[in-house]
């Protein structure tokens, strides 16, 4: 076989199947033409059809053009899971602008950096109480010139607490922003190679960096998933009801749910946050057929005391992504529900697609699956990223394909360092077995993946350094039964300073960091390990740690419309 693992592909799927490449406005327009009055999104009991969604996006696009936010402009979206996201997402793109996603789960300093780095001077947000106060701070600090505020109660009264919208000429409601904006005689020309989205990611070597994702990258990603799932769709010949509790600002939800569902005519059952019983109602009562989640969600479901009596019969697909899925969780879920729960692998830089598991094929616990059609992956030597390794040898995973970013916004050196020719170095260490299945071993970078979200130790350290008693700090990831990984802070105190509790540290960091970034554990040390040149060493510290037990599982919600 030319491409390892192709022998296990679904029947009729080939590695070299045609991968379509286009633009996102065309993707929505084609869906509206093809599926018309069929419901595209269900939110708070209200259905929005494909035709209506395109019409609403056109109104937004006209408003962005009227405000001179077309070609060359960057528009930042600071929104949770509501129809306001796709409306403004497609609206700005149809106007010819590029977008920058801001995560409501991030702390203020990370968000401030993303705004400054992206060059966005207009921020679209909501009057939800978890969003608007933070957005107002950006305006006060001069990071943006204008706020466009979507009114959450437009979608029905049952929602989040709202914050009052100040009377300020720099702040406009979306309704007023769109008022009087008329469609242009001709929409701006949007090309597949145009940057559609700056999706921020990064590691501990610096602040988050914006992966430049083109229209072609994102539409290719959708096409890759479409090709992979074609045999199963033809066999079922059914409109799927897809649960979306994943946050739409995250690449996983954007590609796997929003864009793919629109392309295929499926219904998105949109939730603002993860609540295990709300998800179970969608499955048991509304008969949802697909649920893509992250490990934290599956851990919560697998922990239900009555799991073995719950009705999962409507589900045809239960997938996990965003972070490694604990093997034990998959085993418990399968034992109690008789459904297989398998995880794939992907990255922000790949617009999500990388690997997946076929319905039929060898059972390989812990594997992330086979490389998807159109994608080439291999493993290279850690000391020579141009040297490909044989099956079974451990090294860094490389990838190339039409879905892979061309680089990082405004960072030519980091872009150059991330590629060997046209192959992207993922920073993930792993191996491929003789059947073409990939396995992850470790991460080259120090980034922590907590509940499917990237957590950057350096940013946590910067916040902790603001504490008057802290002389030095190193943050590393430790096992966590709920989120997969959590941050632990190791602190050297200033002379004469008293130790403080974990709860006191959490209170100090509240507001400075996102909830998912707050350390789950704390330790004090007389000295912290250093490299030979005197730098604090995370690598050495990790090596000094005993095999720790995971932080005990907690029951909590993973928010998608605000901080958890």
pTM attached to this predicted model: 0.84
Of residues 183, 163, 182, 160, the one with CA closest to residue 173: 163
Q: How many domains does the chain have?
A: 3
Task: Give me the count of residues in the chain.
Answer: 564
Residue 562 pLDDT: 28
**Is the Cα dihedral 279, 282, 287, 289 positive or negative?**
negative
Residue 428: give its domain's CATH number.
3.40.50.12780
Residue 100: give its domain's CATH number.
3.40.50.980
| CB 152 within 8 Å of CB 82 | yes
Residues 360 and 496 reside in one and the same domain = no
Residues 422 and 528 reside in one and the same domain = no
Residues 270 and 159 reside in one and the same domain = no
Residues 437 and 299 reside in one and the same domain = yes
Residue 82 lies in a domain: yes
Six token digits for residue 299: 């851990």
Residue 553 pLDDT: 41
Residue 480 lies in a domain: yes
Residue 369 lies in a domain: yes
Other Cβ atoms less than 10 A from the Cβ of 109: the count is 14
Residue 203 pLDDT: 44
Residue 197 pLDDT: 98
Residues 172 and 242 reside in one and the same domain = no
Residue 490: give its domain's CATH number.
3.30.300.30
Residue 391 lies in a domain: yes
Residues 435 and 540 reside in one and the same domain = no
SS3 69: coil
Residues 486 and 413 reside in one and the same domain = no
Residue 494 pLDDT: 85
Other Cβ atoms less than 10 A from the Cβ of 374: the count is 23
Residues 453 and 305 reside in one and the same domain = no
- Could you tell me how far CA 288 lies from the centroid of its own chain? 22
Q: What gap in Å lies between CA 162 and CA 157, rounded to an integer?
A: 11
Residues 483 and 374 reside in one and the same domain = no
φ, ψ of residue 314 to 5 degrees: the values are: -80, -25
Six token digits for residue 77: 């979206």
Residues 12 and 63 reside in one and the same domain = no
Q: Domain of 42? A: 24-190
**Domain termination site, one of 443, 478, 512:** 443
Residue 134 lies in a domain: yes
Residue 206 pLDDT: 57
Pick out the chain residues at pLDDT < 50: 1, 203-205, 533, 553-564
Residues 167 and 231 reside in one and the same domain = no
| CB 556 within 8 Å of CB 482 | yes
Residue 440 pLDDT: 87
Of residues 113, 103, 81, 76, the one with CA closest to residue 92: 76
Six token digits for residue 76: 């930042």
Residue 195 lies in a domain: no
Residues 34 and 170 reside in one and the same domain = yes
What 8-state DSSP symbol labels residue 341? Answer: -
Residue 159 pLDDT: 66
**CA end-to-end span of the chain:** 46
State how beta strands 46-49 and 39-43 pair: antiparallel
| CB 342 within 8 Å of CB 272 | no
Residue 292: beta bridge partners? Answer: 319
**Domain termination site, one of 443, 467, 484:** 443
Residue 434 lies in a domain: yes
As a dihedral over the C-alpha atoms of residue 104, residue 107, residue 109, residue 113, rounded to 10 degrees, the angle is -40
Residue 131 lies in a domain: yes
Q: What gap in Å lies between CA 4 and CA 349, rounded to an integer?
A: 22
Q: CA-CA distances (angstroms) from residue 210 to 371, 448, 454?
A: 25, 18, 13
């Amino acid at each position: 076989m030319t491409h390892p693992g192709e022998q296990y592909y679904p029947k009729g799927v080939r590695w070299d199947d045609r991968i379509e490449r286009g633009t996102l406005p065309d993707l929505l327009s084609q869906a509206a033409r093809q599926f018309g009055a069929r419901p595209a999104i269900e939110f708070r009991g209200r259905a929005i059809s494909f035709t209506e969604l395109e019409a609403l996006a056109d109104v937004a696009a006209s408003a962005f053009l009227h405000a001179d936010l077309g070609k060359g402009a960057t528009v930042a979206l600071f929104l949770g899971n509501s129809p306001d996201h796709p409306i403004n997402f497609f609206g700005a793109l149809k106007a010819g602008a590029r977008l920058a996603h801001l995560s409501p789960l991030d702390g203020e300093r990370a968000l401030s950096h993303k705004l400054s780095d992206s060059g966005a001077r207009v921020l679209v947000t909501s009057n939800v109480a978890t969003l608007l106060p933070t957005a107002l701070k950006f305006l006060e600090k001069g990071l943006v010139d204008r706020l466009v505020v979507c009114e959450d109660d437009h979608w029905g009264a049952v929602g989040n607490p709202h914050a009052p919208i100040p009377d300020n000429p720099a702040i406009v409601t979306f309704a007023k922003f769109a008022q009087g904006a008329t469609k242009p005689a001709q929409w701006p020309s949007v090309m597949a190679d145009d940057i559609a989205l700056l999706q921020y990611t990064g590691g501990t070597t610096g602040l988050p960096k914006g992966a430049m994702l083109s229209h072609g990258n994102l539409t290719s990603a959708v096409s890759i998933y479409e090709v992979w799932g074609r045999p199963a769709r033809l066999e079922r010949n059914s409109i799927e009801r897809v649960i979306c509790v994943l946050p739409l600002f995250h690449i996983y939800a954007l590609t796997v749910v929003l864009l793919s569902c629109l392309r295929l005519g499926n219904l998105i059952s949109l939730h603002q946050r993860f609540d295990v019983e709300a998800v179970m109602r969608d499955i048991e009562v509304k008969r949802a057929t697909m649920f893509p989640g992250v490990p934290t969600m599956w851990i919560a479901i697998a922990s239900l005391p009555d799991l073995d009596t719950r009705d999962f019969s409507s589900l045809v697909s239960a997938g996990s992504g965003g972070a490694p899925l604990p093997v034990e969780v998959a085993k418990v879920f399968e034992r109690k529900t008789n459904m297989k729960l398998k995880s794939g692998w992907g990255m922000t830089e790949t617009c999500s697609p990388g690997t997946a598991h076929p319905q039929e094929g060898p059972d390989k616990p812990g594997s992330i699956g086979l490389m998807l059609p159109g994608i080439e992956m291999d493993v290279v030597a850690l000391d020579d990223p141009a040297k490909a390794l044989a099956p079974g040898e451990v090294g860094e995973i490389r990838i190339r394909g039409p879905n892979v970013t061309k680089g990082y916004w405004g960072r030519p050196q980091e872009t150059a360092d991330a590629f060997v020719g046209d192959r992207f170095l993922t920073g993930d260490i792993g191996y491929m077995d003789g059947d073409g299945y990939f396995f992850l071993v470790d991460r080259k970078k120090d980034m922590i993946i907590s509940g499917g979200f990237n957590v950057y130790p350096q940013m946590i350290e910067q916040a902790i350094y603001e504490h008057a008693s802290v002389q030095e700090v190193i943050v590393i990831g430790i096992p966590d039964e709920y989120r997969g990984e959590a941050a632990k802070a190791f602190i050297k105190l200033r002379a004469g300073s008293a130790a403080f509790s974990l709860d006191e540290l959490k209170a100090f960091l509240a507001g400075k960091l996102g909830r998912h970034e707050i350390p789950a554990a704390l330790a004090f040390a007389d000295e912290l390990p250093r490299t030979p040149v005197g730098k604090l060493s995370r690598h050495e510290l990790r090596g000094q740690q005993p095999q720790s037990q995971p932080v005990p599982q907690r029951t909590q919600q993973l928010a998608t419309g605000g901080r958890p």
